[in-house]
Structures are given as C-alpha cells and as structure tokens.
Structure 1
Amino acid sequence: MEADVFASIVLMKKLSSKLMQEIKDFKILLRNIPSLTVSLFILSVVCANLMANKELVNFKYIALDCGFTFSWLMFLCMDIICKRWGAKASIKVSILALAVNLSVCLIFALLSKAPGMWGEFYTTENQEVNRALNATFGGSWYVVLGSALAFITSSIINALLNTAIGSSLKKNNFFSFALRSYVSTAIAQFADNFIFATVVSKIFFGWSWTQVIVCSAIGAFFELLCEVVFSGLGWKVVRQWEKENVGNEYLEYQKKQA
C-alpha cells in the first residue's frame, strides 16, 4: 500500500515537472515568434471559421466556402514557423490559435442569445434578418466540433510532414522551402477538408463519400494554389528572421533541453 502511494507521488511530481517545463517552453516560444506572425495566424483561424458559413462556389462536386480565402494564410504561417522553430513550435501555436478560436465561438454564441437587434434589422425591419445573423454568429455545435477537430489534426499532420521533409533536404534555399511547404500543405489541407466534410457534411447533411472526397481534393487544390502564389513572401520572411537571428533564444533553449 505504501509502495503504491509512493509511486503515485513520484508520478505526480514527474508530471508536474513536465508540465512546468512545457509552460516555460511555451512562454519562451511566444517571446521569440514575432507578434505579427502569431496575430495573423490566430486572426486567419478565427476568420476562416466565421467565413466558412458563406459559400463561394457550390456545384454538385465542387464546393468552396469563403473560409478558404483565409485558410492558406493559416498554413503559410505554420510553414514558416516550422521552418524556423520546428514542428513542436508550430503545433503549440496551433493549439493556442484553436483555444482562442473556441473562446471567440463561445463568446459569439453567448452574445447571439442577448436581447436586442442587429443594425441590419433596422434597415429591413425584418425579424428573419435578426434571426439569421444570430444563427450565423452563434454557430452550431457540430460545425464548431468538426472545424476544431479538422484544424488541430491537419495542423499536426502539416507540422510533422513539413519538418520530416525539411530534415531530409540538405540545401537551405527556396526550392527546399517550397517542396516541404507544398507537400505538407497539400496533404494537411486535404485532411482538414476531409475531416470537416465527414463530420459535418456527410453526417448532418447527407453527402456521399464521392462528394466528400472530391470536394476535399478540390478545396485542397485551390488552397494550395493560394499558398504557391504567396510562398515567395513566406520564404523572404524566414530568410530575414535567419539573418537577424530572430528567435535564437528559443533555439538555444531547445538545444539545452535536448
């Protein structure tokens, strides 16, 4: 009995020590990543989630929502963070972005229940407009669940793939950056779309598996295309960070912990 209690105490101390170490690691990481990058990343996640409520293109096997106009920025931010600080750093910032997004969704849901009219109501004097806006900003639990599950899964896939491909490349040039970014983004974007379409569109709206797969692939293609267009900018940002030794404190801390 005493041995079990002692083992439990030792385990709790180890877990507590590990938790404190991770918190310290996260604090140092946030001090080292430029605030504009973190802000754009979190903003793109929140905006993509909100604008996913509005469709951009909708045919039988082609469906794009307005959220895709922000999703490429999410993955570009993840790619440049991976390039400079590694997969672990990218995943941690993704968890932060998810936490902020879920908090915003909760606040929106609560405020949508508040009494009062939206400004657009006074333009039309139509109660349906007010209800529609409340429903849009309030969101549905299954949409939030599907979005959160898709985002965190694709973030982990993107980070691990990006870093794995990068570690196998010897040269530090744009081609290497583009290769690791395009491959990881294409696969992770497909996973993101596939998970969301399965959890939300198939289960709750009756999509066929053909629709799920084709729409996921088409969405991933257009999202990847956007990143291809702006990847040059991402490369320039990373190169500037390297020249100015941005984030060296975190890199040195990681070496000491290894």
Structure 2
Amino acid sequence: FTLSWVSFLCMDMICKRFGPKASVKVSILALALNLAVSGLFWLVSLAPGMWGAYYDTGSLEVNAALNATIGGSWYVVLGSSLAMLCSSFVNSHINQFIGHLTDNGSFATFALRSYVSTGIGQFVDNLVFAVVVSHTFFGWSWVQVLTCSITGALAELLCEIALSPVGFRVASGWEREGVGEKYVQAHAADLEARM
C-alpha cells in the first residue's frame, strides 16, 4: 500500500506519452528486476552464519526469522508478481481508452484517465494478491478479500491524486521536449497500419 501507487502514477505518465504497450513493457521490466532482487535476497538468506540480531538475543528463532524475512516467501513473490502483471495491463489499457475519448492535453483529462484507470487497476492488483496469497494461504474470507481490495485501492488512489499534478507536469514536459519522438511516431504508424 505504501509504494504501489507510485508504479501506477508512472504507468499513467508513460501511457500518456508513449501508450499502453510501452507502459506494460516497462512494468514487465520492473517485474523482472523485482524477481531478480527477490532471488538475490533468497540467496543471501542461504548464506551460512548468524545475523547480528542473533548475537543480541542468542536466539536461533530470531536468526531463522531474519532469514525468512530476507529470503521472502515464494507465495508472496508469486502473488505480488501476478497482481502487478494483471493490474498493469488493466491500468494501461483503461488509461489509453479513456485518453482516446477525452484527452485534450489538459490536467483535467490526465486526471480523469489516471484516476479511473488507477482506481480500477489498484482494485485488480489488490484483488489478485488477496485471492492468491491472503485467501489461499491465510484463509481470508471473501468479505475480507473484497474489503481489503476496495480499501487498499481507495487509499492508493488518494496517494496518486495528491501527486498527479507532478506526474502531469513530467509527462507534459516529455511531450514538449520531444522525448521518445521516434517511438511515438513508430507507434502511431503501427496503429494506422492496423486500421
């Protein structure tokens, strides 16, 4: 909940300038990096020896808990990876759909497409994670799964709302400065060829 909204704001900015395909590609790259870091942490947790906290407490349980925390839990990594993959696709495509209907380059249309796509995307993100991890492994009821998904989506949307003016300025700056112009033109030509 603390950082998830940042990735959604980034997707909205990328989507505004480069389209949904680019946004999903960046999300997949970020997911691959996240999985690589998780794998590295897991390897660190296998290293022999004791953590500093073991020497403070003399407890093997503390050392084992730290190894489990650093190494992560496979089902949490799986759940969060699947949730991010699904939600990035949903967020980016809803954002682009609304943008095709309304975008006139103003903050109001950026906000509309970002807030709607983020609200729905965050709900999907939280729902997939809650079903895969919380319901399956921790026995959450469906009421808990849905309540957490809705509450989390609203909280994360409020965070994005607070910083979306910054995201709009950055995305508008990319347009003014012609950042990625070759990609944008190639993407537009590709879309025209399909129609």
Offset at residue 256 of structure 1 (A): 4.3
Instruction: State the partner residue of 2:186.
Output: 253
Q: Is the 8 A contact 2:11 2:92 kept in 1?
A: yes
Offset at residue 119 of structure 1 (A): 2.9
User: Quick one: which amino acid aligns to residue 6 of structure 2?
Assistant: L
Verify: 1:240 aligned to 2:176, yes or no.
no
Instruction: State the partner residue of 1:151.
Output: 84
Measured in 1, the distance between the counterparts of 2:52 and 2:170 equals 40
Instruction: State the partner residue of 1:49.
Output: none
Offset at residue 170 of structure 1 (A): 4.2
Measured in 2, the distance between the counterparts of 1:175 and 1:243 equals 18
Matches within 5 A, 1:1-258: 68-257=1-190, 258=193
Offset at residue 185 of structure 1 (A): 0.3
User: Quick one: which amino acid aligns to residue 144 of structure 1?
Assistant: V
Q: Which structure: larger Rg?
A: 1
TM-score of the aligned structures, taking structure 1 as reference length: 0.71
How many residues align structurally? 191
TM-score of the aligned structures, taking structure 2 as reference length: 0.93
Q: How many percent of aligned residue pairs carry the same amino acid?
A: 59
Measured in 2, the distance between the counterparts of 1:203 and 1:170 equals 41
User: Quick one: which amino acid aligns to residue 175 of structure 1?
Assistant: A
- Please report the RMSD computed on the Cα atoms of aligned residues, expressed in angstroms: 1.2
Offset at residue 127 of structure 1 (A): 2.6
Residue ranges of structure 2 left out of the alignment (5+ in a row):
none
Measured in 1, the distance between the counterparts of 2:156 and 2:128 equals 16
Higher mean alpha-carbon deviation, 118-127 vs 203-212, is at 118-127
Offset at residue 240 of structure 1 (A): 1.1
User: Quick one: which amino acid aligns to residue 157 of structure 2?
Assistant: L
Measured in 2, the distance between the counterparts of 1:119 and 1:232 equals 44
Measured in 2, the distance between the counterparts of 1:97 and 1:187 equals 20
Residue ranges of structure 1 left out of the alignment (5+ in a row):
1-67
Offset at residue 172 of structure 1 (A): 1.1
Offset at residue 121 of structure 1 (A): 2.9
